[in-house]
């Protein structure tokens, strides 16, 4: 199932967007992925697998479009629509994750203030957080 003609540029465009957007940390080909998988971070392997999945889906769509006789200019338009949908989906997912992050940071801040208030009222030393999760380290500032 090879990539042919202008459709190849659509796949390259979507994959390039994934790389530039930071969703894929490295642009490795499959051979290097297979050879160095043990040294790579799991997220990089997942990003590569996502690109392979996207390539297969776009190839499948291309084959369907060719089989049913859709002209090349319409295939390119449809490929643009696919790219637009993928980008919109990923942008929406990123926005949702950013919102989650902000809610978690706010919740942690509220809980830290409540903890400080309780410790003051009870006249006990504040609990020292060690080895906290990343979001806690970013919001905690000095240890409480």
- Mean pLDDT per 10-residue section of the chain, whose length is 144 residues: 51 60 47 50 89 94 96 96 96 98 97 94 83 56 46
Query: What pLDDT, on the 0 to 100 scale, is given for residue 34?
Result: 46
Q: Give the whole-angstrom CA distance, residue 46 versus residue 24.
A: 8
Whether 7 and 80 have beta carbons less than 8 Å apart is answered as no
Query: What pLDDT, on the 0 to 100 scale, is given for residue 90?
Result: 95
Q: Which of 143, 112, 113 is nearest to 130 (CA)?
A: 143
Query: What pLDDT, on the 0 to 100 scale, is given for residue 127?
Result: 73
Query: What pLDDT, on the 0 to 100 scale, is given for residue 48?
Result: 92
Q: pTM of whole model > 0.75?
A: no
Q: SS3 sequence, the chain?
A: CCCCHHHHHHHHHHHHHHHHCCCCCCCCCHHHHHHCCCCCCHHHHHHHHHHHHHHHHHHHHHHHHHHCCCCHHHHHHHHHHHHHHHHHHHHHHHHHHHHHHHHHHHHHHHHHHHHHHHHHHHCCCCCCCCCCCHHHHHHHCCCC
Query: What pLDDT, on the 0 to 100 scale, is given for residue 144?
Result: 42
Query: What pLDDT, on the 0 to 100 scale, is given for residue 41?
Result: 85
Task: Report the 10 Å Cβ neighbour count for 42.
Answer: 8
């Amino acid at each position: 199932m090879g990539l042919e003609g202008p459709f190849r540029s659509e796949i390259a465009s979507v994959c390039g967007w994934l790389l530039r957007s930071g969703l894929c940390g490295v642009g490795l080909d499959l051979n290097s992925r297979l050879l160095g998988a043990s040294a790579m971070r799991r997220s990089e392997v997942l990003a590569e697998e996502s690109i392979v999945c996207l390539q297969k889906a776009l190839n499948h769509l291309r084959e369907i479009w060719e089989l049913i006789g859709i002209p090349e200019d319409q295939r390119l338009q449809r490929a643009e629509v696919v790219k637009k949908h993928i980008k919109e989906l990923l942008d929406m997912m990123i926005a949702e994750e950013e919102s989650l992050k902000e809610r978690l940071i706010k919740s942690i801040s509220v809980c830290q203030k409540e903890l400080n208030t309780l410790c003051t009222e009870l006249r006990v030393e504040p609990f020292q957080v060690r080895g906290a999760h990343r979001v806690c380290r970013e919001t905690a500032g000095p240890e409480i």
